[in-house]
Structure 1
């Protein structure tokens, strides 16, 4: 059975980057994975001051809006590195928060899909033909945690 997620308040909402699970990366606390991810677009750019603005944004929706501002220049290599940035943040989230790690591990070997109607890169899009990169990252993180836990026994 494929597991679909999207909204934070729906089943498997903890898989969303907007879920209220803080992470610690690059020597700083981030309210959500979304806050961290959006801020990383501006590392080393003329808009680097946006990083701290995004970090303290009151909600992940505000952080996302700030990061998606097309008038701001992002890193030149952003399209190439964004999957690694996302994976690093998602892994951190599930290593820190054991309650949601248990939810992720309980999915077994099921396929996980971000059921975003608009996002064809991170999600499956409205017609389910998207790349589902976030779902693939979650499945990869699940596998990594399983292997780590097996070696701890």
Structure 2
């Protein structure tokens, strides 16, 4: 992998590349079914729906509409007409929201998602996108992809923590330090991988590894 400011180039053969959810590593996608989330009393089908709902902390009905969709792509598309109501600092906080969403996905699907991430070994994880060079990377030719690949880098960030001696810290997911981080007009709760911890209050979040130097 080479680095040119924010854009990175990935060699396909040396990377774990995913696009379709039915592929071997399709579960890495936010669109993948089979990784349900539980946010307090609220059930969310996919991390994509959760991420999209977080755009609209001041619009409970929009959040409910997004989360009620059976398809993650429908949840994303249904949110588009309301983009004018996106929180004003969205571009500044969206990576933090995505990092949190992925960690919630792991905590709520500990064995399944953990095993999938560890199966990628030490390879670069890359979302193969048709045009999104921010979250994913776009094919230059048959052999190389280019983009910021922020989603892939966040997944690698979690994978490295899973390999560390502090991997159990990932079983507790505190909400990010974002103003008005709300779902259905209520602050987002701490998420626990193990139900026996649900009544414990965590004051300080465990320190997280970050692959993003500008945070």
With normalisation by structure 2, the TM-score equals 0.64
Does residue 131 in structure 1 map to residue 148 in structure 2?
Answer: yes
Structure 2 alignment gaps of length 5 or more:
1-13, 170-215
How far apart, CA to CA, are the structure 1 residues paired with 2:53 and 2:168? 34
Per-residue deviation, 1:10: 1.2
**Structure 1 ranges of 4+ moved more than 6 A:** none
More strand by share: 2
Match of 2:134 in 1: 121
1:41–1:71 distance in 2 versus 1, CA, 3 Å: closer
**Equivalent position SS for 2:86:** coil
Query: Gaps spanning 5+ residues in structure 1: where?
Result: none
Q: Distance in 1 between matches of 2:101 and 2:168?
A: 22
Computed over aligned residues only, the root mean square deviation of the Cα atoms, in angstroms, reads: 1.9
**CA separation of 1:89 and 1:27: change in aligned 2, threshold 3 A:** farther
Q: Residues 22-33 of structure 1 correspond to what in structure 2 (within 5 A)?
A: 22-25=36-39, 27-33=41-47
Query: Which residue of structure 2 lines up, in the alignment, with residue 2 of structure 1?
Result: 15
What is the alpha-carbon distance in structure 2 between the residues aligned to residue 80 and residue 8 of structure 1?
A: 28
CA deviations 1:14-50 (Å, max 9, x no partner) are: 0000111111236522100011001111112xx4420
2:160 is the alignment partner of 1:143: yes
Q: Tell me, what secondary structure is at the counterpart of 1:113? A: strand
> What is the aligned partner in structure 1 of residue 121 from structure 2?
108
Q: TM-score, normalised by structure 1?
A: 0.88
SS in 2 for 1:11: coil
Q: 1:18 to 1:51 in 2, by over 3 A?
A: same
Identify the structure with the greater helix proportion. 1
1:70-89 paired onto structure 2 within 5 Å: 72-89=84-101
The structure having more radius of gyration, on CA atoms, is: 2
For these two proteins, the number of residue pairs brought into alignment is 149
Whole-Å separation in 2 of the counterparts to 1:30 and 1:92: 11
